[in-house]
């Protein structure tokens, strides 16, 4: 499925009125903060947002943000493609308005002049979702792949099941 670009700005209160959704991708070149933090690079970030007014009349923004960050494993220092997923749960208020009661898992976003800039919001959610020490699930697999790819694989270096058997027999 081909996707368009995420709008640079939205008018969140109007979108909440209309119970609307906004989807699209943010391209790498738009991501100033992620570049600044040098946590890695990404080809694009996929964003799905819904806007609605909840039973208490508050303007809500929810949805998902997904990307793959090309970064480095903190454990083995090999390249790591890290899947990053964020669940968005925001409450939009006009800048300067008094803070509404909100549950702890809901973040408040201030909207100035009815307009909300989406890219900084998306970048912030991605930065928060990146683990502090990104690492492969299994670094051994990666090290083995690299060895096999860069030079002649050395099958004789693999454990020989007969050696194990021999060792067990010696124990008797
Ligand atoms: Zn690793």
Distance 143 CA to ligand 1 centre (A): 8
Tokens of 5: 């670009």
- Determine how β-strand 107-111 pairs with β-strand 79-94: parallel
Distance 134 CA to ligand 1 centre (A): 9
Average pLDDT over all residues of the chain = 83
Residues 53, 64: Cα–Cα separation, whole Å: 18
Q: How far is C-alpha 8 from the chain's CA centre? A: 19
Q: Would residue 3 count as lying in a domain?
A: no
Tokens of 89: 């749960």
Distance 79 CA to ligand 1 centre (A): 8
For the stretch 9-68, pLDDT in tens is 999 999 999 999 999 999 988 888 888 877 788 889 999 999 999 998 999 999 999 999
Q: Would residue 4 count as lying in a domain?
A: no
Give the total number of structural domains in the chain: 1
What is the pLDDT at residue 61? Answer: 96
The parent domain of residue 58 ranges over 9-171
Distance 142 CA to ligand 1 centre (A): 7
Q: Would residue 101 count as lying in a domain?
A: yes
Distance 144 CA to ligand 1 centre (A): 11
């Amino acid at each position: 499925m081909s996707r368009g670009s995420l709008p640079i700005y939205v008018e969140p209160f109007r979108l909440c009125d209309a119970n609307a959704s906004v989807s699209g991708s943010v391209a790498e070149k738009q991501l100033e903060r992620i570049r600044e933090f040098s946590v890695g690079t990404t080809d694009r970030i996929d964003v799905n947002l819904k806007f609605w007014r909840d039973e208490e009349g508050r303007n809500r923004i929810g949805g998902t943000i997904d990307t793959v960050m090309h970064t480095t494993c903190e454990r083995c220092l090999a390249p790591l493609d890290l899947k990053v997923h964020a669940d968005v749960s925001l409450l939009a208020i006009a800048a300067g308005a008094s803070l509404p009661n909100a549950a702890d898992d809901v973040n408040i976003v201030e909207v100035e002049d009815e307009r909300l800039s989406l890219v900084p919001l998306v970048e912030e959610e991605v930065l928060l979702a990146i683990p502090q020490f990104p690492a492969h699930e299994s670094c051994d697999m990666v090290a083995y792949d690299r060895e096999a790819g860069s030079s002649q694989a050395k099958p004789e270096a693999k454990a020989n099941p007969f050696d194990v058997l021999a060792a067990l027999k010696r124990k008797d």
